[in-house]
Amino acid sequence: MYTLGIETSCDETACAVLKNGDDILANVISSSLAKHKPFGGVVPEIASRHCLEAIDLVYEEALKRSKVKPNQIDLIAVTRGPGLIGSIFVGVSFAKALSFSLDVPLVGVNHIEAHLEANFIGRKKPSKFIGLIVSGGHTSLVKWRNGRYQLLGETVDDAIGEAYDKVAKILSLGYPGGPVIDQLARQGNPKVFSFTKPKQEGKFDFSFSGIKTAVLNLVEREKPSLRGVPKGRRSNLGLGIASASLESSPRNDRSFVHNLCASFQEAVMGWVVQKTILACEQEKIKSIVVGGGVSANSRLRELLQEQSHIRGFQLFLPSFELTTDNAVMTARLGYVLYRKGERSDLQMAADPSLTIASGPMGRRPRGEGSHGTFKQ
């Protein structure tokens, strides 16, 4: 069975072809990241225009690489939310048009759930697990049991990826902030600076806005020269994203940035891992499944592997090529849902606010609140 996956939730435009749910025949991604860098973040209009311009090209390339003809496609899976409405709309419209013209079934999938499902390509899915979703727009803890997702906690302000981007902006490190901070942190001492752990009403909720402000105050107090460095001077300080070694800046500035990145990363990743382990212990679950772009972070992987080894937990980490937004995960989840009998019709709409706790077709189960469940 050939499944075509289509992913356009944000700044990536992707198509993939999956055979029988486990065999990746093609994984094509066109990113608009370079277009967003001058603005220090994703510009929705640019992202959606790129999706519109690239969707047909990535579709054709995916078919070419997979050596699958359009009339051989058995199923079309597409991301219908959450994400940027303009970008999602492009993918959903393209998928519905293909479904109609090729006369093949269509399944709309949840982007967040797809990130977790990517871990089960070629691996057996556990009957229950704690899911950790970490990305630029999402930080959530969920429980999977008896075919249902339950939302345990989520960020009350910035997602972890947003926190990395904002700290990188404070230090003029460029965009995106995750990779460069991760790189610089390896050269620093994580014990130099300490940050107060935020307190939330929900045991498994997250907050990263406070540490971003703490970093800003620290930089302005200790190293005001590093705050808001004009673009023309960044090369003198060595703070550009292409020069993460900081070799051209004064030694005290280099050490300060290295240590600050290390301390920031150790704090936020420590909080995330601590709550993940706590969720496992409270729910008496010994499997952890991680998804999202921040799952590529080296320190997060190290901490999760260490804690899982100590406690005898089973840990699922996606391969690096499946950490970022991709259509393989979309195809995989669509395939799973299709085999369970789910179908979408041509009235399916893009839903930028779709949650992992929503019911089929995005409807929240009757009587469920924000901690509802999603039945597969």
**DSSP character string of 266-325:** HHHHHHHHHHHHHHHHHHT--EEEEESGGGG-HHHHHHHHHHHHHHT-EEE---GGGTSS
Task: Tell me the one-letter amino acid at 107.
Answer: V
Residue 46 lies in a domain: yes
227 and 343 within one domain: no
Residue 220 belongs to what H/E stretch?
A: helix 209-222
155 and 84 within one domain: no
As a dihedral over the C-alpha atoms of residue 149, residue 320, residue 44, residue 167, rounded to 10 degrees, the angle is: 100
164 and 76 within one domain: no
268 and 158 within one domain: yes
Domain enclosing residue 256, as ranges: 128-320
Interatomic CA distance for residues 122 and 23, integer angstroms = 8
CA-wise closest residue to 185 among 196, 173, 175: 173
- Helix orientation angle between 177-185 and 251-283, rounded to the nearest 10 degrees: 100
184 and 234 within one domain: yes
pLDDT at 227: 61
280 and 140 within one domain: yes
170 and 54 within one domain: no
279 and 245 within one domain: yes
Number of other residues whose CB lies within 10 A of the CB of residue 194: 11
Interatomic CA distance for residues 305 and 300, integer angstroms = 8
Q: If you search the block for the tokens 């029988």, which residue do you land on? A: 20
Interatomic CA distance for residues 21 and 255, integer angstroms = 48
Beta strands 148-154 and 139-145 are: antiparallel
Residue 376 lies in a domain: no
Residues 133-152: b if buried by 16+ CB within 10 A, e if exposed: bbbbbbbbbbbbeeebbbbb
The residues facing 281 across adjacent strands are none
pLDDT tens per residue across span 262-293: 999 999 999 999 999 999 999 999 999 999 99
For residue 82, say if its preceding peptide bond is cis, omega within 30 degrees of 0: yes
Residue 139 belongs to what H/E stretch?
A: strand 139-145
pTM for the model: 0.85
CB-based contact 50:13 (threshold 8 Å): yes
pLDDT at 359: 43
pLDDT tens per residue across span 238-270: 333 223 334 434 446 788 999 999 999 999 999
pLDDT tens per residue across span 16-39: 999 999 999 999 999 998 899 888
157 and 58 within one domain: no
Residue-wise pLDDT tens for the chain (376 aa)? 999 999 999 999 999 999 999 999 999 999 998 899 888 889 999 999 999 999 999 999 999 999 999 999 999 999 999 999 999 999 999 999 999 999 999 999 999 999 999 999 999 999 999 999 998 888 999 999 988 899 999 999 988 999 999 999 999 899 999 999 999 999 999 999 999 888 888 899 999 999 999 999 999 888 766 665 443 333 333 333 223 334 434 446 788 999 999 999 999 999 999 999 999 999 999 999 999 999 999 999 999 999 999 999 999 999 999 999 999 999 999 999 999 999 999 999 999 989 886 443 333 332 333 223 333 3
142 and 87 within one domain: no
CA-wise closest residue to 210 among 248, 156, 258: 156
Residue 375 lies in a domain: no
Interatomic CA distance for residues 114 and 50, integer angstroms = 22
Residue 164 lies in a domain: yes
- Mark residue 18 as left, alpha or beta (left: phi above 0; alpha: psi -120 to 50; beta: remaining): beta
Residue 368 lies in a domain: no
CA-wise closest residue to 95 among 207, 15, 181: 15
CB-based contact 32:175 (threshold 8 Å): no
Q: How many domains does the chain have?
A: 2
pLDDT tens per residue across span 222-239: 876 666 544 333 333 333
156 and 51 within one domain: no
175 and 289 within one domain: yes
